[in-house]
A and B are shown apart, each in its own frame.
Chain A
Amino acid sequence: MTVTNPATGLAERAARRTTAPLARRAGLSDRAVAWLFILPTMLLLLAINIFPLIWAIRLSFTGLMANLPGAARFVGLDNYVDILTDEDVWANFQITAHFVFWTIALQVLIGLGLALLINQKFRGHSFWTTVILLPMMLSPAVVGNFWTLLFQPQIGPFNYVVGFLTGVAPSSFSMIGSVTLAPWTIVLVNTWMWTPYVMLICLAGLRSIPDYIYEAAEVDRASPLRQFWSITLPMVMPFLMLAVLFQAIQSFVMFDMVNLLTSGGPGSVTETVSITLKRAAFEKWETGYASALAVILFVTIFGAANVYVRALNWVKQQ
């Protein structure tokens, strides 16, 4: 440790090189680190997601009512048979399908339209994009709750504006209380909330299209409409599919917004499957029956999620 001549300097450096693996061996091996890092997450998910899932499957074969004492009675496939032959449940699936179909159709139409417009890069477009994005970040429950104020027949601004524009008396219709309007009310609010989601993903798709493709089309004198059909739409399609898949799953299981806006009513005209499930599980306390319905939902969602992840990975590779 006195004077270091160039030669020992080199030797020292060489020595450090060789001790490097030794120093690493003093710490944990890579394999140990990998498991140490991943295991806590896996254990948490197993405890909070998988264990209850298995429990639900077991419960679905029983006639348990969680609010009553006593052991669960094994009923085999009775719950499943009850659900699949119950006309009310099928009606609820139809209500859900109506909701999913129209909300997705509107979101795609408006979302893609907005994305195309924003892509014109007018002045201030990023500010207005942020403004448009706000609704999708809000709590669906709180959104459902405050729309009940906006939809009040007497005092609500929504009916007033509709009345002002169409000449209909504002108190003559109720968006929440009417059997014909309520199914469209949940579509309207969900579209208001989630159109920004589709828009943002479409915008990413539009921005991924390189300019030279359009330049080539211009040279070939392709009309703007032709350019849209044969360049823009096909190139945006993977992104659009991603948005549609996610929104389909999301609105299929939508609970918060509907529960606070209409809570399934009037009667059961807006009773989507998740509302049915909540009523069965936490109002009628038919735990076994509700578990069977939950399992049916799991299987559906799991299948859809599988497709969604494939789509995600596919888009990622593009």
Chain B
Amino acid sequence: MSDAPTPRPFSEPSPLARGLAGAAVVLYAVIAILPLLWIGATAFKSQSDAIAYPPKIFFTPTLGGFVDLFTVQTHQSHDFIAKLPAPQTWYEKIVRDRDMVIAGPSRVVERFLNSLIIGFGSTILATFLGTLAAYGFSRFRVPFADDLMFFILSTRMMPPIAVAVPIYMMYRWLGLYDTRIGMILLYTAVNVSLAVWLLKGFIDEIPREYEEAALVDGYTRMQAFRKVVLPQAVTGIAATAIFCLIFSWNEYAFNLLLTSSDAQTMPPFIPFIIGEGGQNWPAVAAATTLFLLPIVIFTIALRKHLLRGITFGAVRK
């Protein structure tokens, strides 16, 4: 094979090799993505379609799963329902058709809200602290800089489950158990290590000459940082923030062990979405779909920076 004269430039693989490689990768991608598509489809199934055997690929879509997710319902007798005024909204109609009545909103809205507040709160804090520290490490001669950077990264490696015991006791003592502030502080601490490492990489790439010129022109350090460095680092800061947000959004172990209700986020909540008589799979799938969708969008937005993010900034391209 290699003895045959090759007219193409070396770095170009042959069309056949390319085609085969493409087919294999597409096959893997399709198989790998099927579980996600299945969950997305289950969100739109009726309860009976969701537990049908053999599993249904074609079905009549319904929003019943989403209605179940967002409401609490009670069983009523057929006669009672017949006496009620006609349903006002499409979701009331879906529920009535099953001889049920909506009793009120479910707790899922609070959980989503907690996920958002804790996610954004910790992201903003971690990115803010991380930017400052990264600039400090990037531009100044800090004693024991390497050791400090290692210390910062090693905190990220600590398994949540191992630190959870003392943090649990500390939070009980400080009154931070099951509070949003407690979760925000905790996630900030976990995220700040990633933020420092990532942002140091981004800031290292900004030429020092810009700031030095600004300093010569009479700017103070702080002014140079605000008006020269920050605008240059905006892309890096945004990418870092999205990584932090994804971590906080996805985190499970700390939230499971350090909250009970008020500060609970979506991940520990989703497994406890149960219908009557077994798990309500369409509702679980609806919650999962709503929960994962933002991550899918963020992943696509981040794809150029993913490599940096998962290697703490060490591998760039």
> Do A316 and B314 touch across chains, with their CB atoms under 8 A apart?
yes
Most buried by A among B136, B152, B159, B215: B159
Q: Is the CB of B82 closer than 8 A to any CB of chain A?
A: no
Q: Which residues of B contact A26 (CB under 8 A)?
A: 220
Taking the closest CB of chain A, its distance from the CB of B277, in whole angstroms, is: 14
> Do B153 and A305 touch across chains, with their CB atoms under 8 A apart?
yes
> Do B220 and A218 touch across chains, with their CB atoms under 8 A apart?
no
> Do A146 and B158 touch across chains, with their CB atoms under 8 A apart?
no
Give chain A's interface secondary structure class. Answer: helix
Taking the closest CB of chain B, its distance from the CB of A148, in whole angstroms, is: 8
Cα distance, A5 to B48, chains bound together (Å): 90
Q: Which residues of A contact B130 (CB under 8 A)?
A: 41
Q: Is the CB of A100 closer than 8 A to any CB of chain B?
A: no
Taking the closest CB of chain A, its distance from the CB of B154, in whole angstroms, is: 5
> Do B222 and A28 touch across chains, with their CB atoms under 8 A apart?
yes
Interface size on B, residues (CB 8 A): 110
**How would residues 139 to 169 of chain B score, 1 for a CB under 8 Å from any chain A CB and 0 otherwise?**
1101000001011111101111111111111
Cα distance, A249 to B163, chains bound together (Å): 16
Cα distance, A124 to B29, chains bound together (Å): 12
Q: Which residues of B contact A244 (CB under 8 A)?
A: none
> Do B317 and A204 touch across chains, with their CB atoms under 8 A apart?
yes
Known A-B contacts A133-B306, A139-B291, A157-B38; A149 and B281 likewise in contact (beta carbons under 8 Å)? yes
> Do A52 and B295 touch across chains, with their CB atoms under 8 A apart?
no
Q: Is the CB of B25 closer than 8 A to any CB of chain A?
A: yes
For A26, give the chain B residue with the smallest CB separation: B220
Surface stretch bound by B, among A80-88, A114-122, A173-181: A114-122
Task: Point out the residue from B33, B55, B136 that lies within 8 Å of A134, measured CB to CB.
Answer: B33
Q: Is the CB of A277 closer than 8 A to any CB of chain B?
A: yes
Surface stretch bound by A, among B58-66, B97-105, B181-189: B181-189
Q: Is the CB of B78 closer than 8 A to any CB of chain A?
A: no
Could you list 12 A-B pairs, sorted by A, with CB under 8 Å? Answer: A24-B221, A26-B220, A41-B129, A52-B163, A53-B158, A120-B21, A122-B22, A129-B303, A130-B299, A134-B32, A155-B51, A246-B311
If A110-B28, A260-B271 are given as contacts, then 14 extra A-B residue pairs at C-beta distance below 8 Å, sorted by A number, are: A20-B216, A33-B221, A34-B139, A38-B142, A48-B185, A51-B166, A53-B166, A117-B25, A134-B32, A139-B251, A141-B270, A142-B270, A249-B157, A309-B154
Which A residues fall within an 8 A CB radius of B?
16-17, 19-20, 23-24, 26-28, 30-31, 33-38, 40-42, 44-45, 47-49, 51-53, 55-56, 59, 66, 110, 114, 117-118, 120-126, 128-142, 145-147, 149-150, 154-157, 160, 170, 192, 197, 200-201, 204, 207-208, 211, 214-215, 218, 221-224, 239, 242, 246, 249, 253, 255-256, 259-260, 274, 277-278, 281-282, 287, 290-291, 293-294, 297-298, 301-302, 304-306, 308-309, 312-313, 315-316
